């Protein structure tokens, strides 16, 4: 099969690779589409902690079932599927209790696997994964759009963890894929007013199209004045960092009301920003962080899209072919041509 092979940081190519064989509780999938995630950039640049090289990357993908291991009853050949990436060890304290994205055996083969990070992933024509990572793709959803289910799962588990109250005022930093999906799901889950902040006007345009009540251009617009006019007295009910910038993590803590909540979704390069931690005891704040999708959330993402009340397809701005991996990577990582999510058809 054809696949992207990353031998080590900065060294990758599209080449021939042996086809994977599914184990007894695994499913062999004909990959149809696989999208780039920010962590893929880190992976290729050698900055993602925990990656095991050499590797076929790709953890946001969709495809069609080719065959199933002997213990698999849930799927049949031809079924269209979306995926999660974290296959925890299934036996440590965290996995057993449902927190498998923070598996205590992370990276220890063969106990644990994260598809596209410590085991071969979806930038390939075929991929074999444990059945528990697969979810039926919503009815008529295109394979390219379906690659968003994984990131949608992250948005969902983040918002479900910190909770949305009816009519909440939600402030989001970062209008990349995770920020936009968090914006959409905050509204799907009952937020009243969502404000999203970014430096790229093109991304704010997409945010508006996807439903954001308020969009703010970080460089030129006055966030304080805009929120005051909108009636956000006292600050946001919930502030979300989805840009992966330390200073914005600290800013989220400043921006919530007394009793407010902060959610950190972005991953920084290990920055330790000065943070107004005193606010936590003075103003009774709570801060949550979420590692990836987990909590079987992709199944709930699928249900949400099946309702027909949410459409995230504009986030997929570019589609290339698997053989064009390098080009796709450059467009994505350079945010060229207003790229947000770049998908490869495999």
Taking CB under 8 A as the criterion, the residue among 30, 67, 79, 102 binding its own copies is 102
Q: Does 104 bind its own copies (CB under 8 A)?
A: yes
What's CA 334's distance to the chain center, in Å?
Answer: 19
How many residues touch its own copies under the rule CB under 8 A: the total is: 82
Which part of the chain contacts its own copies (CB under 8 A), choosing from 94-102, 119-127, 220-228, 338-346? 94-102
How many angstroms separate the Cα of 298 from the Cα of each of 174, 257, 292, 301?
22, 31, 11, 5
Q: Does 100 bind its own copies (CB under 8 A)?
A: yes
Which part of the chain contacts its own copies (CB under 8 A), choosing from 97-105, 201-209, 217-225, 333-341? 97-105
Closer of 17 and 275 to its own copies (Cβ): 275
Q: Nearest distance from residue 160's CB to its own copies, in Å?
A: 6
Taking CB under 8 A as the criterion, the residue among 46, 54, 234, 334 binding its own copies is 234
Q: Does 307 bind its own copies (CB under 8 A)?
A: yes
Alpha-carbon gap, residue 161 to 260, rounded angstroms: 14
Residues shown for the chain? 346
Whether the Cβ atoms of residue 122 and residue 36 lie closer than 8 Å to each other: no
Alpha-carbon gap, residue 108 to 103, rounded angstroms: 10
Token pair for 15: 């080449």
Transcribe 222-268 into DSSP letters.
-HHHHHHHTT-TT-EEEEEE-S--HHHHHHHHHHEEEEEEEEE----
Q: Does 222 bind its own copies (CB under 8 A)?
A: no
Taking CB under 8 A as the criterion, the residue among 62, 101, 144, 317 binding its own copies is 101
Token pair for 341: 């999510």
Which positions from 321 through 340 interact with its own copies, judged by CB under 8 A? none
The candidate with the shortest Cα–Cα distance to 27, out of 103, 113, 127, is 127
Taking CB under 8 A as the criterion, the residue among 304, 331, 339, 342 binding its own copies is 304
Alpha-carbon gap, residue 103 to 17, rounded angstroms: 29
Which positions from 50 through 89 interact with its own copies, judged by CB under 8 A? 71, 73-74
Q: Nearest distance from residue 273's CB to its own copies, in Å?
A: 6
What's CA 259's distance to the chain center, in Å?
Answer: 27
Which positions from 172 through 211 interact with its own copies, judged by CB under 8 A? 185, 187-190, 192-193
The candidate with the shortest Cα–Cα distance to 242, out of 271, 262, 270, is 262
Closer of 182 and 317 to its own copies (Cβ): 182
Q: Nearest distance from residue 137's CB to its own copies, in Å?
A: 14
Q: Does 302 bind its own copies (CB under 8 A)?
A: yes
Question: In degrees, to the nearest 5, what angle opens at C-alpha 275 toward C-alphas 271 and 279?
Answer: 155
Which positions from 106 through 135 interact with its own copies, judged by CB under 8 A? 110-111, 130-132
Closer of 49 and 201 to its own copies (Cβ): 49
Interface mask toward its own copies for 256-295; x: CB under 8 A: --xx----xxxxx-xxxxxxxxxxxxxxxxxxxxxx---x
Closer of 100 and 320 to its own copies (Cβ): 100
Interface mask toward its own copies for 153-172; x: CB under 8 A: ---x---x---xxxxx----
Whether the Cβ atoms of residue 100 and residue 294 lie closer than 8 Å to each other: yes
Alpha-carbon gap, residue 48 to 8, rounded angstroms: 12
Whether the Cβ atoms of residue 57 and residue 123 lie closer than 8 Å to each other: yes
Which positions from 17 through 46 interact with its own copies, judged by CB under 8 A? 25
Closer of 2 and 132 to its own copies (Cβ): 132
Closer of 46 and 167 to its own copies (Cβ): 167
Give the largest CA-CA distance in the chain. 61
Q: Nearest distance from residue 129's CB to its own copies, in Å?
A: 12
The candidate with the shortest Cα–Cα distance to 266, out of 158, 117, 153, is 158
């Amino acid at each position: 099969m054809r696949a992207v092979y990353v031998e080590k940081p900065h060294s990758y190519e599209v080449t021939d690779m042996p086809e994977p064989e599914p184990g007894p509780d695994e499913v062999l999938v004909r990959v149809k589409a696989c999208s780039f995630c920010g962590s893929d950039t880190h992976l290729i640049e050698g900055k993602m902690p925990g990656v095991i090289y050499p590797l076929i990357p790709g953890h946001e993908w969709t495809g069609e079932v080719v065959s199933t291991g002997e213990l698999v009853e849930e799927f049949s050949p031809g079924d269209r599927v979306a995926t999660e990436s974290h296959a925890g060890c299934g036996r440590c304290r965290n996995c057993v209790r449902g927190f498998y994205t923070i598996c205590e055996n992370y990276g220890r083969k063969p106990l644990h696997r994260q598809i596209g990070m410590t085991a071969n992933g979806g930038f390939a024509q075929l991929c074999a994964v444990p059945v528990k990572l697969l979810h039926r793709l919503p009815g008529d959803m295109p394979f390219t759009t379906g690659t968003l289910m994984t990131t949608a799962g992250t948005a969902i588990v983040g918002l479900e963890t910190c909770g949305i109250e009816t009519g909440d005022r939600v402030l989001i930093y970062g209008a990349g894929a995770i920020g936009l999906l968090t914006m959409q799901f905050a509204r799907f889950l009952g937020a009243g007013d969502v404000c999203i902040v970014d430096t790229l006007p093109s991304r704010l345009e997409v945010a508006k199209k996807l439903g954001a009540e308020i969009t703010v251009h970080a460089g030129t617009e006055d966030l304080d004045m805009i929120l005051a006019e909108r009636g956000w007295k006292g600050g946001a009910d919930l502030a979300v960092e989805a840009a992966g910038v330390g200073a914005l993590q600290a800013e989220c803590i400043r921006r919530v009301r007394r009793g407010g909540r902060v959610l950190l979704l972005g991953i920084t390069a290990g920055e330790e920003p000065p943070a107004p931690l005193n606010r936590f005891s003075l103003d009774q704040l709570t801060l949550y962080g979420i590692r990836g999708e987990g909590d079987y959330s992709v199944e709930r993402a699928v249900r949400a899209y099946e309702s027909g009340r949410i459409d995230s397809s504009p986030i997929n701005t570019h589609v290339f072919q698997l053989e064009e991996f390098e080009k796709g990577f450059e467009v994505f990582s350079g945010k060229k041509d207003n790229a947000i999510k770049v998908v490869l058809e495999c």
